Amino acid sequence: MRLFLFFSFIILLSGCTSIEVAKEINKVTTGIKKSVTNIIKNKEKSIEKEDPKKLEKVTELEKEIELEKEIIKTEKKKEKKLAKQQKKIVKINFFSKTLDELRQDLGNPSLLRNDGGTQMARFDTMGCRLFFFFNSNLNLPRVEHFEIRDTKGNLIDKKEHIQNCYKNFKLT
């Protein structure tokens, strides 16, 4: 009987302590919730105070970026049109020539550059520059695109200037 009373007393005490622990845990969780919500509210208030200034700066920067993107797009379109015009005007066909064939015709390039799967060769004279682009992933890279530019880097679109460039390279 004493043993029964002793065990029942222990069970009763352990049951009460688990209730007290649960109460303490509940208090701690509510305290943490309150502190987290206070921190979030403080951050939101500071962001709201700074937002009007930042929003104005961000919108101005976005507008500037959009304008620059539009300018770049129009410049790329112009360059594509000029390159097409050059190809119509050009009588000498550089397409499907290898770099060795170009070296025989034009001499050694002033610049050779590999960028990923593209190889670029530039041939310079005093008045113009010829750019040739190859697909370097092929076994024998051949010219896939070429451009004629002046010394400042602008595409040459007039027939007379292209012919002068060819004379400089002694191609005519």
Strand-pair partners of 98? 142
- What is the band of 121 on the pLDDT scale with cuts at 50, 70, 90? very high
Q: Is residue 54 part of a domain?
A: yes
Total number of domains in the chain:
2
Q: Is residue 159 part of a domain?
A: yes
Q: Is residue 11 part of a domain?
A: no
Answer yes or no: do 95 and 81 share one domain: no
Domain range holding 57? Answer: 39-88
Written in H, E and C, the secondary structure of the chain is CHHHHHHHHHHHHHHHHHHHHHHHHHHHHHHHHHHHHHHHHHHHHHHHHHHHHHHHHHHHHHHHHHHHHHHHHHHHHHHHHHHHHHHHHCCCCCCCCEHHHHHHHHCCCCEEEEECCEEEEEEECCCEEEEEEEECCCCCCEEEEEEEEECCCCECCCHHHHHHHHHHHCCC
Answer yes or no: do 117 and 158 share one domain: yes
> CA angle, 64 as apex, 59 and 67 as ends, to 5°?
125
Give percent above pLDDT 70 in the chain.
75
pTM of the model: 0.50
Q: Which of 88, 110, 129 is the last residue of a domain?
A: 88
Query: Could you report the per-residue pLDDT of 19-38, keeping only the tens digit for each?
Result: 666 677 777 777 777 877 88
Query: Could you report the per-residue pLDDT of 128-167, keeping only the tens digit for each?
Result: 899 999 988 888 888 888 888 888 888 887 878 888 888 8
Q: Is residue 103 part of a domain?
A: yes
The length of the chain in residues reads: 172
Residue 1 in this model has a pLDDT that exceeds 70: no
Residue 102 in this model has a pLDDT that exceeds 80: yes
Q: Is residue 18 part of a domain?
A: no
Q: Is residue 75 part of a domain?
A: yes
Cα 89 to its chain centre, rounded Å, is 35
Q: Is residue 101 part of a domain?
A: yes
Answer yes or no: do 149 and 124 share one domain: yes
Query: Could you report the per-residue pLDDT of 36-89, keeping only the tens digit for each?
Result: 788 877 776 665 566 667 777 778 888 888 988 898 888 888 877 777 766 666
- What is the band of 105 on the pLDDT scale with cuts at 50, 70, 90? confident
pLDDT at 62: 87
Answer yes or no: do 105 and 48 share one domain: no
